[in-house]
Amino acid sequence: MAALLVAAGRGLRAGDGEPKQYRLVNGRPVLAHALMPFLAEPAIERVAVVIGEGDEARYANAIAGLDSARLVAPTLGGETRQASVRRGLLALSRAGFDGIVLVHDAARPFVSRAQISAAIHRLGAGDLAAIPAMPVTDTIKRTDTSGHVAETPPRDQLVSVQTPQAFRFGPLLEAHEAAAAALQHGFTDDAALMEWAGHTVATFRGDPANVKLTHAEDFLRANARHGAVLVTRVGTGYDVHAFGPGDHVWLGGVRIGHDQGVVAHSDGDVGLHALTDALLGALADGDIGTHFPPSDPQWRGAASAQFLAFAAQRVRERGGRIDHLDLTIVCEAPKVGPHREAIRAEIAAITGVAIGKVAIKATTSERMGFTGRREGLAALATATIRLPEED
Ligand SMILES: Nc1ccn([C@@H]2O[C@H](COP(=O)(O)OP(=O)(O)OP(=O)(O)O)[C@@H](O)[C@H]2O)c(=O)n1
Ligand SMILES: C[C@](O)(CO)[C@H](O)COP(=O)(O)O
């Protein structure tokens, strides 16, 4: 018996950053969570993983520390899940495998030993294919291309299906080969391929906990469900730039006309720089110069939005969320008040947090100090985030 885990997707719906199967849930890569119950099942002789091109180092990092005795060398995946499964099956076939194969999404880290066992036993009853299915609790509609309801199928016949899906290896590989030869590339699970090939697919009860991580917010729920306690962490940031020749400044991602510019390597946005450092501070993840060294020519004139977006993404990649961003800008001029709402909206858009969680304040320094003498401007920021406790 073999398990085939598909992990070659890019996780586009989960947002920018690492492919989702390599992100951490409760301090461990999603792929490692998904692999462990298969590696612990004595009936499974080999476990094969299909990975994306260029993911070799991520894969090595994800499996480090796992019991890898039954893990075979990874295979490179294809453009679609269907293509990736086919490549994995062909690799198993080349290695002489025949028997029962359990196909599983690496993006389902909460698969249990009980589900694996149920898949194996359901197939043992003489079927060619057996899949975990959950009755749907919402009413499901079919809509037409204009978004109007075309049909309401009877709910008592509808189920949503999960993985691991269990198959007799030979018929599954044949179905994949036949679909590839017929240029049928749109199957979203392997059971659908077997149905297309004319086979009967049995079902067994799925597990509501066995969710597929698809969107960024699924990671928050995953950490919570996994028992990870989210703790509040606070970071602060500070930045200054001297005024210089020019006709505008960038503040909080907004271009503001002014009789001077700022002297800076990037666009010199003190607001976004302070916020970036506040987020990195809350993460204990270096500072803006660690990740975007001023000595690196690629950041010359760079839009600072990308620095802040990067820091916000680092929070999400660690399974965290941004609770609040508070920015104070210190200058005699330009006046910040007229731009306050535009700046809040811009920061909310860059970080992906609700505008109600972004505060912008401004003050002069009463003509004292370098800001008071109109030599430059400064910003202070506080970021409040929540991270899994063990992180
Ligand atoms: N070309 C692909 C596409 C998907 N998968 C895998 O199939 C599983 C289910 O796919 P999905 O959730 O759609 O993952 P992604 O394709 O990565 O996500 P997205 O569609 O958001 O990019 C995941 O474990 C994914 O890594 C794969 O191996 N090869
Ligand atoms: C295989 C699957 O997980 C069963 O629910 C699902 O069809 C995968 O779909 P995706 O769009 O590739 O995430």
Q: Could you tell me which of 279, 349, 357, 291 has the C-alpha nearest to residue 316?
A: 279
- Annotated binding residues for a divalent metal cation: 239, 241, 273
Angle ∠(259,265,271) on CA atoms, nearest 5: 65
Known binding positions: 239-241, 265-266, 273, 287-289, 363-366, 370, 373
- Give me the pLDDT at residue 294, please: 84
ipTM above 0.90, yes or no: yes
pLDDT at 194 over 90: yes
Helix (H, G, I), strand (E, B) or coil at 380: strand
- pLDDT of residue 290 exceeding 90: yes
Residue 340 has pLDDT above 90, yes or no: yes
- Structure confidence by residue, pLDDT tens digits, 250-260: 999 999 999 99
> For residue 31, which ligand has an atom nearest its CA?
1
Write down the CATH number for the domain with range 2-225. 3.90.550.10
- Residue 86 Cβ contacting ligand 1 at under 6 Å: no
Read off φ and ψ for residue 235, nearest 5 degrees: -130, 155
First to last CA, the chain: 36
The ligand with the least distance to the CA atom of 84 is 1
Give the pLDDT band of residue 358 (cuts 50, 70, 90).
very high
pLDDT in tens, 17-61: 789 999 988 778 999 999 999 998 999 999 999 999 999 999 999
81 within ligand 1 shell (Cβ under 6 A): yes
CATH number given to 230-388: 3.30.1330.50
What ligand has the least distance to the C-alpha of 188?
2
Cα atoms found within 13 Å of the Cα of residue 363, Cβ hemisphere only = 8
- Token pair belonging to 295: 């000595």
**What is the rounded average pLDDT of the residues 274-292?**
96
Predicted confidence (pLDDT) at residue 227 exceeds the cutoff of 80: no
Residue 218 beta carbon below 6 angstroms from any ligand 2 atom: no
Please check the confidence at residue 298 and state whether its pLDDT lies above 90.
Answer: no
| Residue pLDDT, tens place only, 145-188 | 999 999 999 999 999 999 999 999 999 999 999 999 999 999 99
pLDDT band at 391 (very low <50, low <70, confident <90, very high): very low
Where helices occur in 303-351 by DSSP H, the ranges are: 305-317, 340-351
| pLDDT the model gives residue 230 | 80
Percentage of the chain exceeding pLDDT 70: 99
β-pair type (2-7, 46-51): parallel
pLDDT category of residue 124 using cuts at 50, 70 and 90: confident
Q: Which among 255, 261, 233, 240 is positioned nearest to 320, based on CA atoms?
A: 233
Helix axes 113-124, 30-39, angle to 10 degrees: 50
pLDDT bracket for residue 390 (50, 70, 90): low
Q: What is the pTM of this model?
A: 0.67
- Residue 221: pLDDT band (50, 70, 90) is confident
pLDDT band at 228 (very low <50, low <70, confident <90, very high): low
Confirm if 151 and 170 have CB atoms less than 8 A apart: no
Q: Is 133 in the pocket of ligand 1 (CB under 6 A)?
A: no
Domains in the chain: boundaries? 2-225, 230-388
Atom of ligand 2 nearest to the CA of 212: 3
Nearest atom (ligand 1) to Cα of 79: 1
